[in-house]
Structure 1
Amino acid sequence: MAELWALAAGDLARLIGTREVSSREVVQAHLARIAEVNPQVNAITVVLEEQALDAADAADRALRDGTAPGPLCGVPMTVKENVDVAGSATTLGIVPLRDAVAQRDAQHIAQLRAAGAIPLGRTNMPEFGIRWHTDNDLRGATRNPWSAGHTPGGSSGGDAAAVATGLTPLGIGNDGAGSLRWPAQCCGVAALKPSLGRIAQRGQASPFAFQLLGVHGPIARRVADLRLAFDHMCGHAPGDPWYAPVPLRGPAPATPIGVAAVTGLDADPRVTAAVRQAAKLLADAGYRVTESLPTALDRASEIYTQIMSSYGRVHEEQPPVETVASKGFVQFWAAYEEIWTRAGGRAAFDPMMERAAILRAWADWTDSTPLVLAPICTIPAFPVGADLDSEWLAGWPAALRMSVVANLLGLPSVAVPTGLADGLPQAVQIIGPRFREDLCLDAAAAIEVGTPPLTPIDPR
Structure 2
Amino acid sequence: MAEIWQWSAVETARRVAAREVSATEVLEAHLARKAAANPALNAVVVDLSAQAREAARAADRAQASGAPLGPLHGVPVTVKINIDLEGQANSNGVPGLAGVIAPGDSPVVANLRAAGAVILGMTNTPEFSLRCFTSNPLHGQTYNPWDPAITCGGSSGGAGASVAAGIGAVAHGNDIGGSLRWPASCNGVATIKPTLGRVPAFNPSATVERPPMAQIMSVQGPLAREVADVRLALEAMSRRDPRDPWWVPAPLTGPAPPSPIKVALAEIPADMETDPEVMALIGQAAAWLADAGYEVVPAVVPDVTAAWRLWCDLISTEIATVQIGPMREMGSAAFIGALEGILHMATILDAAGYMQAMASRARLLREWLMFLETYPLVLAPVSVCRTPAFDADLKGDAAVRRIFHNDQRFLGALSVLGLPVAVAPAGLTAAGHPVGVQLIASRYREDLALDAAQAIEARAGVLAHKLWAR
Same fold (TM over 0.5): yes
Code of the residue aligned with 1:171 in structure 2: it is A
Q: Do structure 1's residue 45 and structure 2's residue 54 form an aligned pair?
A: no
> Could you say which residue in structure 2 is the equivalent of 1:261?
265
Whole-Å Cα distance in 2 between the matches of residues 188 and 414 of structure 1?
Answer: 13
Q: How do 1:241-252 residues align onto structure 2 when only pairs under 5 Å count?
A: 241-252=245-256
Whole-Å Cα distance in 1 between the matches of residues 97 and 25 of structure 2?
Answer: 33
> Could you say which residue in structure 1 is the equivalent of 2:60?
60
Q: Do structure 1's residue 366 and structure 2's residue 372 form an aligned pair?
A: yes
Whole-Å Cα distance in 2 between the matches of residues 34 and 69 of structure 1?
Answer: 26
Code of the residue aligned with 1:326 in structure 2: it is S
> Could you say which residue in structure 2 is the equivalent of 1:429?
438
Code of the residue aligned with 2:149 in structure 1: it is G
SS of corresponding position for 2:230:
helix
> Could you say which residue in structure 2 is the equivalent of 1:408?
416
Whole-Å Cα distance in 1 between the matches of residues 323 and 124 of structure 2?
Answer: 27
Q: How do 1:158-197 residues align onto structure 2 when only pairs under 5 Å count?
A: 158-197=158-197
Question: What's the offset of the Cα at 1:88?
Answer: 1.2
Whole-Å Cα distance in 2 between the matches of residues 433 and 190 of structure 1?
Answer: 19
Question: What's the offset of the Cα at 1:63?
Answer: 1.2
Question: What's the offset of the Cα at 1:377?
Answer: 1.6
Whole-Å Cα distance in 1 between the matches of residues 341 and 255 of structure 2?
Answer: 47
Q: Which moved more, 1:204-213 or 1:279-288?
A: 204-213
Q: How do 1:162-311 residues align onto structure 2 when only pairs under 5 Å count?
A: 162-202=162-202, 205-265=209-269, 266=272, 267-311=274-318
Deviation track 1:345-397 (CA, whole Å, cap 9, x = no partner) reads x9565112101111122123333111000001222210122211123223223
Code of the residue aligned with 1:70 in structure 2: it is G
Question: What's the offset of the Cα at 1:108?
Answer: 2.1
More helix by percentage: 2
Whole-Å Cα distance in 1 between the matches of residues 43 and 321 of structure 2?
Answer: 27
Contact 2:88 2:101 in 1 (8 A): yes
Q: Which moved more, 1:382-391 or 1:422-431?
A: 382-391
SS of corresponding position for 1:455:
helix
Contact 1:416 1:447 in 2 (8 A): yes
Whole-Å Cα distance in 2 between the matches of residues 161 and 90 of structure 1?
Answer: 20
Code of the residue aligned with 1:240 in structure 2: it is D
Q: Do structure 1's residue 397 and structure 2's residue 404 form an aligned pair?
A: yes
> Could you say which residue in structure 1 is the equivalent of 2:34?
34
Whole-Å Cα distance in 2 between the matches of residues 109 and 55 of structure 1?
Answer: 13
Contact 2:189 2:464 in 1 (8 A): yes
Deviation track 1:310-340 (CA, whole Å, cap 9, x = no partner) reads 234794661462x312232233234443234
Whole-Å Cα distance in 2 between the matches of residues 316 and 137 of structure 1?
Answer: 20
SS of corresponding position for 1:394:
helix
> Could you say which residue in structure 1 is the equivalent of 2:330?
324
> Could you say which residue in structure 2 is the equivalent of 1:417?
425
Deviation track 1:103-150 (CA, whole Å, cap 9, x = no partner) reads 211112211111101111000000011101000000000001111111
SS of corresponding position for 2:236:
coil
> Could you say which residue in structure 1 is the equivalent of 2:120?
120
Q: Do structure 1's residue 453 and structure 2's residue 457 form an aligned pair?
A: no
Whole-Å Cα distance in 2 between the matches of residues 414 and 156 of structure 1?
Answer: 15
> Could you say which residue in structure 2 is the equivalent of 1:130?
130
- Residues 342 and 425 of structure 1: CA distance in aligned 2, closer, same or farther (over 3 Å): farther
Question: What's the offset of the Cα at 1:202?
Answer: 2.0
Percent identity, please. Answer: 43
Whole-Å Cα distance in 2 between the matches of residues 319 and 449 of structure 1?
Answer: 46
Whole-Å Cα distance in 2 between the matches of residues 320 and 442 of structure 1?
Answer: 40
Question: What's the offset of the Cα at 1:69?
Answer: 2.2
Contact 1:188 1:417 in 2 (8 A): yes
Aligned CA-pair RMSD: 2.1
Q: Which moved more, 1:102-111 or 1:433-442?
A: 102-111
Code of the residue aligned with 1:133 in structure 2: it is F
Code of the residue aligned with 1:212 in structure 2: it is I
- Residues 316 and 216 of structure 1: CA distance in aligned 2, closer, same or farther (over 3 Å): closer
Code of the residue aligned with 2:336 in structure 1: it is V
Q: Which moved more, 1:53-62 or 1:206-215?
A: 206-215
Whole-Å Cα distance in 1 between the matches of residues 461 and 169 of structure 2?
Answer: 18
In structure 2, the gaps of 5 or more residues are none
Deviation track 1:56-112 (CA, whole Å, cap 9, x = no partner) reads 001111112222322110111100111111121111110011121212111122111
- Residues 343 and 284 of structure 1: CA distance in aligned 2, closer, same or farther (over 3 Å): farther
Contact 1:340 1:397 in 2 (8 A): no
Contact 2:150 2:390 in 1 (8 A): yes
> Could you say which residue in structure 1 is the equivalent of 2:448?
439
SS of corresponding position for 1:121:
strand
Contact 2:305 2:413 in 1 (8 A): no
